[in-house]
Structure 1
């Protein structure tokens, strides 16, 4: 394979992993458990609020979130960093911002995903998808108890007035 072909293959792999993350968020937010589970390898695991391994456990875990009081969520993932370890293995890290509804009350959460990925039959899949939360609080409490205000944010932009 030429250097150009290698570079193109690398870029295609990275874009496919970005697409995998987008499909994960959409399937999770839409409650499309079949699609969501298909994004994991057969022995794949989710580690976070709980640990679920294999497609049957993954489906039970994700479908059971509403029973645990988490009835709505909107996953926003950004700053995806992808490291290709080989032609069929990779790692990724990203930031998560997640407005959600827990026990009927609006919440706000943010954290990080750390993923291990493997290409299976030409498609990238999660071997491990781990989430760690920096905060997960009722929206009325604020995410950081007012540490950042409009005035303090405005102070970072000298000469730009904010009303």
Structure 2
């Protein structure tokens, strides 16, 4: 493989590792998985998000308490992503949509951008600075959750904040009985 192609491959691997890092933050926050969220940051990182400015451990404590008090479920969805890598430093901009099912049965949606500086230390990409730019917010009308009347809809596991969530199950297996609704084509 020529040097130019090898450099492109290394850049793609770095970008993939950086996206994995950003995903660990989102999943860690939504599942209240402290270790996973903290694995997205170097210990000396600074996060500036809303009223919060501080380190990763304090961020987790503050944000998980805020979300526990306010929402029964949250989704930190990552969208468009740009990444500039120079040596062992990367600057990224990642658009996001946050959705929360509030305890009062309303649905909150907000969007903005995470602007991050990451460093590769000991071969691992982690954030050293995160700035959260919130650009819009609103409430979405509440509707019943789909398929809530299906008796075994959570037979493969109900969504929970924590490691009892079905996404942690290994190996993932289907525990629901086969059921093909009338009118479905095979």
**TM-score above 0.5, yes or no:** yes
CA distance in structure 2 between the partners assigned to 1:67 and 1:76 by the alignment: 18
User: Which residue in 2 is equivalent to 1:97?
Assistant: 97
Normalized per residue, the structure richer in helix is 1
The count of corresponding residues between Structure 1 and Structure 2 is 140
In the alignment, structure 2 segments of 5+ residues that lack a partner are 142-186
CA, structure 1 residues 22+55, in 2 after alignment: closer, same or farther (shift >3 Å)? closer
Structure 1: give runs of 5+ residues left out of the alignment: 141-163
State the TM-score, normalized to the length of structure 2.
0.67
Give how far 1:72 is off. 2.4
Q: Distance in 2 between matches of 1:70 and 1:45?
A: 25
Poorly superposed stretches of 4+, deviation over 6 Å: none
Q: Does the CA contact (< 8 Å) of 1:106 and 1:138 recur in 2?
A: yes
Spell out, residue by residue over 1:73-131, the C-alpha distance to the aligned partner (whole angstroms, 9 max, x if none): 111111110111x2210011111112113452211111111111111211110111221
- TM-score w.r.t. the length of structure 1 is 0.75
Higher Rg: 2
Give the CA deviation at 1:59: 2.7
Counterpart-to-counterpart distance in 2, 1:34 and 1:44: 15
Whichever structure has more strand as a proportion of its residues is 1
